[in-house]
């Protein structure tokens, strides 16, 4: 199946750093793909790069982002503008600050409808009310005339989702959509995103550092470390048999993640070292923290390769299934 | 639901209600999250020589300081270069600048040397500017410190008084005060000091209110230091950058006020002042416009130098305010 | 809460807050009047030229000037309650009447100057923020710093020199052509010609203040998350600036505009004397020259009240611009 969105060799750089390197992935229609990584792994920059909304100093050094038959990165800015919010929409981490405090909710939703769908003010208002209803905001008519500060964080994120979904985009990028929210609200917002994905048959790109979300809401997971993809698999397989040492470390560091993972130690495992040290060195970025590293890990960057059951991994270590269980235990006993 | 936390910076506990949790991680959007002025101030205070070096590299500060130095030198050397009374007639009236090289900047309608007037005027302007600002800063800091530290009823009353003085148009109040007290260098200086203190009082109060809640002040308090020691040793030094920046601009304001007063004829009649030179020159603006233009240029340069110094100090001491 | 409701609540709150300030200003005024050398009786006696000690004492008694200070304060407050600010022997008119005649001139001048300052300052601020760090920003910054350093009365004289004396384009003083019998559009043009230079002289300093502030506020607002949201919607940079950035950036500018209203009034005093503008400022100047303290203090009182009104207006504008402001 040809993916709806096809990202090839995306490289993003700052003047003195390269936070995303040669990243490739595809997104199928109506698929939910999660990109997981700790802060600094380049996942949020990747999301912004797809929208071509990278902040100030960051720029796209190379790569291709194909949506339908166009390379988004090659479009003129004006053309790209007409895609934003219409074909590809995005919601952000901070619902508290992502809405304009001086404009009404209705105005902020109607704005995008008037822009991309050419609705009149009255039509846009009606549609905005329906959208608020769609994202399950009680009393949508009244909410239209409210200002953002009257709403809770969860409600504001629903409004953000309503804005993003307003033009029935093909792709919805959700950058840490629930990080700023309370646990109970998190589940509601994710449920809403999942429902919209089915009802509007849009593809969801979920950017998160929370492995818990991945298991429940994603069809496929990409694990990123220091700007590179280290592993890609469906969540079930990933949790059952993580291949890459980093993924294993992550899972070991996650409490109560999966019923089938049994802890032998009360102490929470941690991955030694930190991501910052990986930014500049040669070889595999994870090598300094890796329990299984080989000599060549220090010098050569591992290529991404296919592994069993449709997964991909970038690691020099022999990752045969038989050796996994043993390493798994090792990972847990850091 | 499961809850795997990768992000080491994420706070462990969650608030029960659905509200914002601030995430201290660096925002990837170039958001200017205004850094805490006081933290910067504290940082800046760490190395005095480093601070001076940064000031030395700041073009605004260097230009302003250079300019002010020249004006200061003129003020100091005035009695040497022009030993006579600048208010006495020395040559033919209304000589144009350059007409007679002995009076390079010309003479006014009473035959007074314009150059002598400008240089002696620098003494008056700088003196009044500096002394009036000192008065304003002293009163303002005292009032602001008491209001900011004490809080409660005293704070309420002092804030009311500050507000009162900020409501009355300061220049009109200044005119009234000087008119009542009869103009002289002393009365003008005091009057300017008395109308400018609320600016600094407000600032100091705000700074103190923030600073007194800071950890290092709490620590000093828990160690049992006296209030006066805490104020002088802990709080004041940290409020100083903001006070210094404002002070440089206040000197400029004081000089402008003095010029306007003496332009209106409310200056000390016994000394020459840039404002009064413009005031007496304006009658002749059609024929001898240099009499109006020259003192004005000197005022602009002086005020400009102080404002440039203020900008430079703001850049170095208070980067938040000049952030691009 | 609706807009109207919010603004109404703000109005009530600001009125309540203004009351103690007004009382304080009146008391200050009264004591300044006490400090002033000579009282109304002296002035009247001086005017008549042939007053004896007895007649002065009689005048004092008539005006209640021989009463204890506190009683005089009560009398002063009583007079104020009847909108009486005293009597000016020099003009032979009640002070309130004289001030009332001159007030519109000053208000018109200040309003024009404020509009010029806000429009010019915000426009320059937008340009500077748009080109932040590049040469238009630097160039305007330098010009603005210069504006910030120029005394209003001096630039007034220089403008007269250039536009009236040298070029002969605009009148050098006054508020209207004397004896000109014009109406309608011509009248407007005539008034505008007299207004341009004084308003410009007065506004230059404030253009400097507002442009710096607008620049900072624009940059601050541009970096906010909601601007990124607007960009993600596909809005054009112009729409983002006008609809999302500007209105948020205007909030601090309006606050500061209110704070500087008193300064603007003070500046008007000097600029009015430069242009012989028939307003409160020139009246103040004349009052100083003739030591007519009842007029001078009347002006001080009234201008303080004007500032209070201006501050209240700013609060209302803020309540209108910023929905987060609710009755506190």
Cβ atoms of C174 and C194 closer than 8 Å: yes
A270 has a pLDDT exceeding 70: no
Interface test with C, best of B32, B169, B183, B203 (most C CBs within 10 A): B169
B315 to chain A, closest Cα gap in Å: 22
**Closest-approach residue (CA) in chain B for C128:** B324
- Give the nearest partner residue to A182 out of B1, B8, B18, using CB atoms: B18
Measured between CA atoms, how close is B163 to chain C, in angstroms? Answer: 7
pLDDT at A245 over 90: no
Whether A324 shows a pLDDT value over 50: the answer reads no
**CB C234 to CB A92 under 8 A?**
no
Using the predicted structure, report yes or no on whether residue B27 has a pLDDT greater than 50. Answer: no
pLDDT range class, residue C62, cuts 50, 70, 90? low
Q: Is A278 on the interface with B (CB under 8 A)?
A: no
pTM of the model: 0.79
For the ranges A110-124, B52-66, C57-71, the lowest mean pLDDT is seen at: C57-71
C-alpha span between B212 and C76 (Å, rounded): 43
**Which residues of chain A are within 8 Å of residue C225 when distances are taken between CB atoms?**
92, 94, 97-98
Domain annotation for chain B: domains and CATH numbers: 67-88+118-323 (1.10.3720.10)
Does some domain include residue C139?
yes
Residue to test with chain B: of C224, C268, C270, most B Cβ within 10 A: C270
Judge: C266–B163 Cβ closer than 8 Å, yes or no.
no
ipTM summary value: 0.85
Q: Which residue has the higher pLDDT, C34 or C210?
A: C210
pLDDT of B317 > 50? The answer is: yes
Which residues in chain B touch residue A242, judged by CB atoms under 8 angstroms apart?
none
Range in A81-85, A198-202, B317-321 with the lowest mean pLDDT:
B317-321
CB nearest B172 (choices: C20, C132, C266)? C266
For residue A331, pLDDT beyond 60 = no
Which of C233, C243, C321 is closest, CB to CB, to A84?
A: C233
Q: Using a CB–CB cutoff of 8 Å, tell me whether A189 touches chain B.
A: no
Nearest to B296 among C36, C158, C216 (CB): C158
For domain A5-218, the CATH class is alpha beta
A101 contact residues in C (CB cutoff 8 A): 226, 248, 322-324
CA of A100, closest CA in chain C: separation in Å? 5
Alpha-carbon gap, residue B172 to B188, rounded angstroms: 13
Percentage of residues of chain C with pLDDT beyond 90 = 10
Neighbours of chain C (3+ CB pairs under 8 A): A, B
The chain-wide mean pLDDT, for chain C, equals 82
Give the mutation candidate from C14, C39, C157, C267 for the B interface (greatest B CB count, under 10 A). C157
Confidence band, pLDDT 50/70/90 cuts, at residue B45: very low
Instruction: Compute the count of residue pairs across chains B and C with CB atoms less than 8 Å apart.
Output: 150
Q: For an interface test with A, which of C2, C226, C326 has the most A Cβ atoms less than 10 Å from its Cβ?
A: C226
Q: Is A288 on the interface with B (CB under 8 A)?
A: no
Among chain C residues, CA nearest to B285: C161
Within 8 A of A210 by CB-CB distance, chain B residues are: 3-6
- The count of other CB atoms within 10 Å of the CB of residue A145 is 14
Mind telling me how many Å the CA of B15 is from chain C's nearest CA?
23
**In this model, does residue B260 exceed pLDDT 70?**
yes
Nearest to B4 among A96, A181, A257 (CB): A257
Which of A89, A100, A103 shows the shortest C-beta gap to C232? A89
Going from N- to C-terminal start, the domains of chain A cover 5-218, 244-330
d(CA A135, CA A3): 27
Contacts of A84 (CB under 8 A, 6+ apart): A51, A52, A53, C231, C232, C233, C234
C289 lies within 8 A of chain B by CB: yes
Residues 221-260 of B with CB under 8 A from C: 252, 256, 259-260
Residue C76 in tokens: 């002063």
Please report where in the chains the tokens 């300017």 appear, as a residue: B192
B278 in contact with C at a CB cutoff of 8 Å?
A: yes
Q: Name the least confident of A219-223, A279-283, B109-113.
A: A279-283
Output the average pLDDT for chain A.
80
How far is it, in rounded angstroms, from Cα B103 to Cα B72?
A: 21
Question: Which pLDDT value is given to residue C120?
Answer: 94
**3-state percent helix, strand, coil for chain A, nearest multiple of 5:** 40, 20, 40
Higher pLDDT, C327 or B21: C327
Residue A218: per-residue pLDDT: 87
A208 phi, psi to nearest 5 deg: -155, 160
Chains that touch A (3 or more CB pairs under 8 A): B, C
Instruction: Check CB contact under 8 Å for A181 and B15.
Output: no
Residue-level pLDDT at A74 = 87
**Chain-chain contact of B20 with A185 (C-beta, under 8 angstroms):** no
Poorest-pLDDT segment among A201-215, B8-22, B223-237? B8-22
Q: Is residue C308 part of a domain?
A: no
Q: In chain A, whose CA is at the least distance from the CA of C319?
A: A102
The residue of chain A nearest to residue C324, with distances taken between CA atoms, is: A149
Residue C165 located in a structural domain: yes
Distance from CA of A80 to the nearest CA of C (A): 8
For residue A155, the chain B residue with the least C-alpha distance is B18
Tokens linked to A107: 């105005």
Predicted local distance difference test score (pLDDT) of residue B300: 92
pLDDT at residue number B191: 92
With cut-offs at 50, 70 and 90, classify the pLDDT of residue C180.
low
Return the pLDDT at A281: 63
Is A96's Cβ below 8 Å from some Cβ in B?
yes
In the predicted structure, residue C316 carries a pLDDT above the cut 90: no
Whether C82 maps to a domain, the answer reads no
| A160, pLDDT greater than 80 | yes
pLDDT at position A320, please? 54
Residue at C106 is within a domain: yes
Is C113 an 8 Å CB contact of chain B? no
Identify the residue among C144, C154, C162 best suited for mutation to test binding to B, counting B beta carbons within 10 A and taking the highest.
C154
- How confident is the model at residue B7, as a pLDDT? 34
Per residue in A78-117, pLDDT (tens digit) is 888 888 888 899 988 888 888 888 888 888 999 998 988 8
pLDDT of residue C122: 92
Average pLDDT score over residue span A269-292: 65
Dmax (CA) for chain B in angstroms is: 96
* Site from A97, A102, A112 to mutate, C interface, most C CB atoms within 10 angstroms: A102
pLDDT at C89: 67
Q: In terms of C-beta density within 10 A (0-12 exposed, 13-18 middle, 19 or more buried), how is residue C180 classed?
A: exposed
Q: Do C232 and A85 touch (CB under 8 A)?
A: yes
Report the range out of B315-324, C48-57, C168-177, C224-233 with the highest average pLDDT: C224-233
For residue A13, what are the CA distances in angstroms to A9, A17, A42, A54, C7?
A: 13, 6, 10, 10, 49
Neighbours of B215 (CB within 10 A): 7
Determine the pLDDT at residue B134. 94
Specify the CATH number for the domain of residue C126: 1.10.3720.10
Contact A102 C248 (CB under 8 A): yes
* C252 reaches B (C-beta below 8 A): no
Candidates B266, B282, B307; nearest CB to C145: B307
Q: Taking CB atoms and an 8 Å cutoff, what residues of chain C touch A100?
A: 226, 229-230, 244, 248
The beta-strand segments (E) located in A147-218 are 171-175, 203-208
What are the two backbone dihedrals, phi and then psi, of residue B292, each rounded to the nearest 5 degrees? -90, -40
B-chain CB neighbours of A38 within 8 Å are 6-8
Q: What percent of chain B has pLDDT over 70?
A: 78
In this prediction, residue B44 has a pLDDT band, given cuts at 50, 70 and 90, of very low
Does B9 have pLDDT greater than 70? no
Q: Is the pLDDT of residue C80 over 70?
A: yes
- Provide the pLDDT confidence category of residue B304 given band limits of 50, 70 and 90: very high
Q: Label the pairing between strands A88-91 and A171-175.
A: parallel
Q: According to the model, what pLDDT value does residue C313 have?
A: 86
Would you state the pLDDT for residue B322? 42
Beta carbons of C171 and C194 less than 8 angstroms apart: yes
A102/C321 Cβ within 8 A: yes
pLDDT classification of A329: cutoffs 50, 70, 90:
very low
Where helices occur in C49-94 by DSSP H, the ranges are 53-63, 69-81
Query: Where in the sequence is the domain holding C211, given as residue range(s)?
Result: 99-289
User: Are B28 and A184 a contacting pair at CB < 8 A?
Assistant: no
pLDDT for residue B258 is more than 70: yes
Domain assignment present for C92: no
Whole-angstrom Cα distance, residue A53 to residue A47? Answer: 9
> Contacts from A123-127 at CB under 8 Å and sequence distance 24+?
A127/A166
- Tell whether the model's pLDDT for residue B126 goes beyond 80: yes
- Per-residue pLDDT of B156-210, as tens digits, reads 888 888 888 888 888 888 988 888 888 888 899 999 999 999 989 988 898 888 8
């Amino acid at each position: 199946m040809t993916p709806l969105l096809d990202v090839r060799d995306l490289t993003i750089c700052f003047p003195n750093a390269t936070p995303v390197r040669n990243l490739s992935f595809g997104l199928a229609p109506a698929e939910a793909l999660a990109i997981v990584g700790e802060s600094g792994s380049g996942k949020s920059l990747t999301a912004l790069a797809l929208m071509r909304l990278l902040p100030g100093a960051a720029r796209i050094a190379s790569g291709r982002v194909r949506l339908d038959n166009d390379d988004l990165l090659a479009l003129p800015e004006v053309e790209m503008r007409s895609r934003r919010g219409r074909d590809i929409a995005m919601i952000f981490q901070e619902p508290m600050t992502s809405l304009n405090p001086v404009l009404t909710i209705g105005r902020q939703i109607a704005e995008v409808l008037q822009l991309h769908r050419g609705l009149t003010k009255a039509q846009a208002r009606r549609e905005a009310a329906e959208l608020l209803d769609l994202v399950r905001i009680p009393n949508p008519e009244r909410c239209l005339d409210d200002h953002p500060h009257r709403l809770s964080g969860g409600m504001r994120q629903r409004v953000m989702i309503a804005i993003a979904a307003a033009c029935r985009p093909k792709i919805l990028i959700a950058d840490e959509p629930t990080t700023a929210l309370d646990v109970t609200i998190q589940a509601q917002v994710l449920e809403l995103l999942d429902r919209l994905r089915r009802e509007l048959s849009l593809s969801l790109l979920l950017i998160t550092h929370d492995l818990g979300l991945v298991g429940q809401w994603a069809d496929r997971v990409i694990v990123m470390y220091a700007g590179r993809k280290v592993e890609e698999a469906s969540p079930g397989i990933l949790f059952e048999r993580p291949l890459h040492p980093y993924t294993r470390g992550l899972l070991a560091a996650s409490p109560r993640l999966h019923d089938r993972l049994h802890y032998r130690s009360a102490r929470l495992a941690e991955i030694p070292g930190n991501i910052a040290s990986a930014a500049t060195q040669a070889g595999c970025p994870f090598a300094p923290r890796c329990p299984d590293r080989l000599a060549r890990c220090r010098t050569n960057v591992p290529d991404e390769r296919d592994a069993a059951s449709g997964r991909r991994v970038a690691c020099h270590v022999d990752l045969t299934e038989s050796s996994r269980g043993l390493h798994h235990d090792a990972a847990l006993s850091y | 639901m499961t809850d795997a936390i990768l992000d080491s910076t994420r706070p462990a506990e969650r608030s029960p209600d659905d509200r914002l949790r601030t995430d201290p991680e660096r925002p990837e959007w170039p958001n200017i999250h205004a850094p805490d002025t006081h933290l910067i101030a504290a940082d800046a205070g760490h190395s005095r020589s480093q601070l001076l070096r940064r000031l030395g590299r700041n073009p605004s500060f260097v230009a302003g300081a250079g300019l002010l130095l020249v004006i200061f030198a003129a003020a100091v050397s005035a009695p040497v270069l022009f030993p006579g009374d600048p208010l006495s007639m020395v040559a033919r009236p209304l000589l144009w600048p350059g007409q007679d090289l002995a009076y390079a900047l010309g003479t006014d309608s009473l035959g007074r040397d314009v150059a002598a007037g400008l240089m002696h005027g620098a003494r008056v302007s700088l003196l009044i500017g500096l002394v009036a600002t000192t008065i304003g800063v002293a009163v303002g800091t005292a009032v602001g410190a008491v209001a900011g530290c004490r809080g409660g009823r005293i704070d309420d009353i002092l804030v009311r008084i500050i507000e009162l003085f900020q409501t009355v148009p300061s220049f009109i109040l200044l005119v009234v005060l000087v008119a009542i007290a009869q103009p002289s260098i002393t009365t003008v200086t005091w009057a300017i000091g008395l109308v400018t203190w609320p600016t600094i009082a407000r600032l100091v109060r705000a700074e103190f209110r923030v600073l007194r809640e800071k950890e290092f002040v709490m620590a000093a308090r828990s160690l049992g230091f006296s209030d006066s020691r805490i104020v002088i040793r802990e709080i004041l030094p940290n409020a100083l950058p903001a006070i210094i920046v404002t002070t440089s601009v206040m000197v400029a304001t004081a000089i402008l006020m003095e010029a306007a007063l003496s332009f209106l004829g409310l200056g000390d009649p016994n000394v020459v002042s840039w404002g009064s030179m413009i005031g007496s020159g304006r009658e002749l603006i059609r024929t001898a416009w240099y009499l109006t233009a020259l003192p004005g240029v000197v005022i602009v340069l002086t005020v400009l130098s102080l404002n440039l110094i203020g900008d430079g100090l703001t850049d170095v001491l208070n980067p938040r305010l000049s952030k691009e | 809460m609706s807009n109207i409701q919010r603004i109404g609540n703000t109005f009530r709150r600001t009125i309540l807050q203004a009351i103690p300030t007004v009382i304080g200003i009146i008391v200050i005024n009264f004591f300044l009047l006490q400090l002033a050398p000579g009282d109304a009786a002296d002035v009247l006696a001086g005017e008549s030229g042939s007053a004896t000690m007895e007649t002065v004492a009689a005048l004092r008694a008539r005006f209640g000037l021989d009463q204890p200070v506190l009683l005089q304060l009560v009398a002063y407050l009583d007079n104020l309650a009847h909108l009486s600010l005293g009597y000016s022997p020099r003009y032979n008119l009640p002070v309130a009447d004289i001030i009332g005649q001159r007030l519109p001139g000053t208000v018109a001048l200040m309003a024009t100057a404020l509009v010029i300052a806000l429009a010019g300052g915000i426009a320059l601020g937008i340009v500077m923020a748009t080109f932040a760090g590049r040469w238009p920003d630097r160039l305007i910054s330098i010009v603005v710093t210069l504006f910030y350093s120029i005394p209003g009365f001096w630039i007034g004289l220089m403008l007269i020199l250039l536009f009236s004396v040298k070029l002969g384009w605009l009148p050098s003083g006054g508020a209207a052509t004397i004896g000109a019998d014009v109406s309608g559009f011509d009248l407007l043009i005539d008034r505008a010609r007299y207004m341009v230079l004084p308003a410009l002289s007065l506004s230059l300093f404030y253009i400097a203040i507002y442009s710096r502030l607008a620049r900072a506020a624009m940059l601050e607002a541009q970096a906010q998350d909601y601007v990124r949201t607007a960009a993600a919607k596909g809005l054009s940079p112009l729409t983002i600036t006008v609809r999302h950035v500007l209105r948020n950036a205007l909030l601090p500018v309006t606050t500061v505009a209110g704070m500087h209203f008193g300064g603007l009034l003070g500046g008007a005093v000097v600029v009015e004397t430069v242009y012989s503008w028939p307003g409160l400022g020139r009246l103040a100047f004349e009052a100083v020259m003739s030591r007519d303290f009842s007029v001078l203090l009347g002006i001080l009182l009234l201008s303080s009240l004007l500032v209070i009104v201006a501050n209240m207006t700013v609060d209302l504008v803020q309540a209108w611009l910023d929905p987060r402001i609710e009755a506190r």
